[in-house]
Amino acid sequence: MKRESTNAIRYVLEELLPPVVRDSAPMRWLFRLHWGRLVDELEDFRASAHRISDAEYAAVYSALPRVHEGTDNSAACVREIIAATLPGEVLDVGCGTGYLLNALHAALGQDGRNYTGLDFQIDQETRERLPSITFVESVVEKMPFADNAFDTVICTHVLEHILDIRAAVAELRRVCRLRLIVVVPKEREHRFTFNPHLHFFPYRHSFLKHMLPVPGDAKCEQVGRDFFYVEDIAAKTPV
């Protein structure tokens, strides 16, 4: 399924259904018809996320079925990311199977750019399929890179999964020399859902409060049902 299709489904579930219906027992039953007991497991995961270990966290994600084909980004967001990526060292944080890095390489080429992908789990198949890209396994909150190591740091559909967002954002800024690109879903919180998100951003300000201090010339736009944020590290004048 493509991101555009799930966005249409999410619009109905999040915007058109009132919370009293969306969080009701009949809706849980309908969700179970497709997802089974995973619906209950994800609810339990969110309830206990503040105290689970890294191994337990990884086990939850390893057991999840893949929903989107290749990437959680919409085609529109991929185009925006390609247009905003600078020459030099490029890091994709939460790279998954390398779809976005491959798209960047295809659109922008290797000349003047080196590509690195980071995720807490990376399949060997991904490494073999994309040999020109460097892959590193690590958590976002403590990345094994020097300060200012990358000209462009990209982080899409990751922060909603991280319990300590402020620590993750601090790390993204630490390793970024010039430009930080972040994409998060525009999403409302409900009692149960078909994803393991820990944070929800129904409005622009719901996301920006986690990015303080926000540079005065930072851009945060809605692209479909996602928020697309670009920050130039050299201009750190808080609003």
Give residue 1's pLDDT: 67
Q: Is the pLDDT of residue 98 over 80?
A: yes
CA 155, chain centre distance (Å) = 6
Residue 191 pLDDT greater than 90, yes or no:
no
Say whether pLDDT at 51 is over 90.
no
Tell me which of 83 and 121 has the higher pLDDT.
83
Model confidence band, residue 45 (pLDDT cutoffs 50, 70, 90):
confident
Buried b (16+ CB within 10 A) or exposed e, 60-78: eeeeeeeebeebbbbeebb
Q: What is the pTM of this model?
A: 0.88
Residue 100: band (very low, low, confident or very high) from pLDDT cuts 50, 70, 90? very high
Sheet containing 88-93: order of strands: 134-137, 113-119, 88-93, 150-156, 176-185, 226-232, 219-223
Is residue 159 a contact partner of residue 182, using CB atoms and an 8 Å limit? yes
3-state secondary structure of 39: helix
The pLDDT score that the predictor gives to residue 67 is 58
Q: Which helix (H) or strand (E) holds 89?
A: strand 88-93
Residue 213 has pLDDT above 70, yes or no: yes
Residue 116 has pLDDT above 60, yes or no: yes
- Identify which has the larger pLDDT, 53 or 70: 53
Relative to beta strand 88-93, strand 219-223 is unpaired
Q: Residue 58 sits in which domain range?
A: 1-239
- Kindly give the pairing relationship between strand 226-232 and strand 219-223: antiparallel
How much of the chain, in percent, has pLDDT values that exceed 90?
A: 57
CA distance 239 to 237: 7
State how beta strands 150-156 and 219-223 pair.
unpaired
3-class state of residue 140 by DSSP: helix
Read off the CATH number of the domain in which 208 is found. Answer: 3.40.50.150
180 in Cβ contact with 173 (< 8 Å): yes
Q: How far apart are CA 85 and CA 220, in angstroms?
A: 16
- According to DSSP, residue 36 is labeled T
> Tokens 């030099």, residue?
88
Alpha-carbon Rg of the chain, whole angstroms?
18
The answer to whether residues 103 and 78 touch, using CB atoms and an 8 Å cutoff, is yes
> Which segment, 25-39, 49-63, 180-194, is predicted with the most confidence on average?
180-194
**Average pLDDT over the chain, rounded to whole?**
88
Q: Average pLDDT, stretch 29-57?
A: 82
Domain count, the chain: 1
Alpha helices in the chain (DSSP H): 3-11, 19-22, 25-35, 38-48, 54-63, 75-84, 99-108, 124-129, 165-175, 204-208
